[in-house]
């Protein structure tokens, strides 16, 4: 258990509405990530953060923004949700140990449906 | 840029048979390689990780993977499949960009175990 909590776990929203997903961690890890998972695509990185107020884009960042105002929380916002953003969203954190690099652990996922 | 190819989106085996899930990677630097398992409606769980300490890596639930640099492969095996192994399996490579580390995933292989 990497101490990651995602909320909400399930949400149905309408096209054009804003949506914010929250990722909360309890172990003070520096790196946090948002991935989306879609059938046939595996997991694709949306955005990641390497510290408070330090974020960068992943491979599928269009239509998404993120914020990290404190170490423990990483927010993913869909400014105006579209049906193509219906997906399962996973938050992840990275731990790093000497001589073994990073290991990424995932939250339980947030199922988002845009109708 | 790092990438991962998983050969076979679906693999079916009989209970008690050998499980072999194939993964080939591309990386310009010595890679860290991972296998994750995902059970239905759950998050991803780390099975095992290659960090260059040993080419044969043992993971949880009786799985192991062998790193073969000459073949750029990191195939996952288990000598005897159990019904509880039915899940989706993802191979991933660690990629470093600008000092930040993230995972690049394959598209996944869904394992079915037949009684």
Give tens-digit pLDDT for A71-85.
Answer: 999 999 999 999 999
Give percent of chain A above pLDDT 90: 78
Q: How confident is the model over B34-89, as pLDDT tens digits?
A: 999 999 888 899 999 998 778 899 999 999 999 998 999 999 999 999 999 999 99
Beta bridge partners, A35, equal A45, A90
Q: Which of A8, A5, A6, A14 is nearest to A86 (CA)?
A: A14
pLDDT value at position B12? 97
Give the per-residue pLDDT at B100. 67
> How many percent of chain B have pLDDT more than 70?
96
pLDDT in the model for residue A103: 84
Dihedral of CA atoms B9, B93, A104, B84 in degrees, nearest 10, equals 30
Structure tokens, A59: 């491979």
Report the residue of chain A nearest B3, measured CA to CA. Answer: A44
Name the band, by pLDDT with cuts 50, 70 and 90, for residue A96.
confident
Residue of A83 and B28 predicted with greater confidence: A83
- List CB contacts (< 8 A) between A61 and chain B: none
Tell me which residue in A42, A105, A107 faces B106 most closely, judged by beta carbons. A42
* Residue B67 vs residues A56, A90, B48, B96: alpha-carbon distances, Å: 31, 27, 12, 20
pLDDT at B98 over 90: no
pLDDT attached to residue B47: 95
Q: Is B51 on the interface with A (CB under 8 A)?
A: yes
Any CB–CB contact under 8 A between A5 and chain B? no
At B58, is the secondary structure helix, strand, or coil? strand
Say which residue, A99 or A26, is predicted with more confidence.
Answer: A26
Answer for the pair A55, A47: CB distance below 8 angstroms, yes or no.
yes
Q: What is the pLDDT of residue B65?
A: 97
Query: Tokens representing B46?
Result: 């780390």
Burial of A84 (0-12, 13-18, 19+ CB in 10 A): exposed
Q: Do B32 and A102 touch (CB under 8 A)?
A: yes
Chain A residue numbers with beta carbons less than 8 Å from the beta carbon of B108 are 42
More confident residue, A71 or B2: A71
Strand runs labelled E in A1-115: 4-7, 10-13, 19-25, 31-38, 42-51, 54-57, 64-70, 73-78, 87-97, 101-106, 110-114
- Interface check for B17 against chain A (CB to CB < 8 A): the answer is no
Who has greater pLDDT, B51 or A45?
A45
Q: What is the mean pLDDT of residues A48-72?
A: 94
Closest-CA residue in chain A for B9?
A: A40
Residue A90 and residue B105: Cβ atoms within 8 Å? no
User: Whole-number mean pLDDT of chain B?
Assistant: 91
Query: Using alpha carbons only, what angle is made at residue A39 by residues A114 and A57, rounded to the nearest 5 degrees?
Result: 70
């Amino acid at each position: 258990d990497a101490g990651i909590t995602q909320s909400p776990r399930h949400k149905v929203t309408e096209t054009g509405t804003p949506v914010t997903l929250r990722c909360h961690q309890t172990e003070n890890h520096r790196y946090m990530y948002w991935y989306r998972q879609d059938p046939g695509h595996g997991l694709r990185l949306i955005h990641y953060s390497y510290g408070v107020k330090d974020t960068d884009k992943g491979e599928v960042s269009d239509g998404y923004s993120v914020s990290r105002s404190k170490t423990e929380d990483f927010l993913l916002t869909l400014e105006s949700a579209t049906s193509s953003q219906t997906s399962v969203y996973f938050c992840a954190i990275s731990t790093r140990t000497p001589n073994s690099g990073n290991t990424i652990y995932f939250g339980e996922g947030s199922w988002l449906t845009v109708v | 840029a790092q990438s991962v190819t998983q050969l076979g989106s679906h693999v079916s085996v009989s209970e008690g048979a050998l499980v072999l899930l194939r993964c080939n990677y591309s990386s310009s630097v010595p890679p860290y390689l991972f296998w994750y398992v995902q059970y239905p409606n759950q998050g991803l769980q780390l099975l095992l990780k290659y960090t260059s300490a040993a080419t044969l890596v043992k993971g949880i639930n009786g799985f192991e993977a062998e790193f073969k640099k000459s073949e750029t492969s990191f195939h996952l095996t288990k000598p005897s499949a159990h019904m509880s192994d039915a899940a989706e399996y993802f191979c991933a490579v660690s990629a470093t960009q600008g000092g930040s580390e993230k995972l690049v995933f394959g598209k996944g292989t869904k394992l079915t175990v037949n009684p």
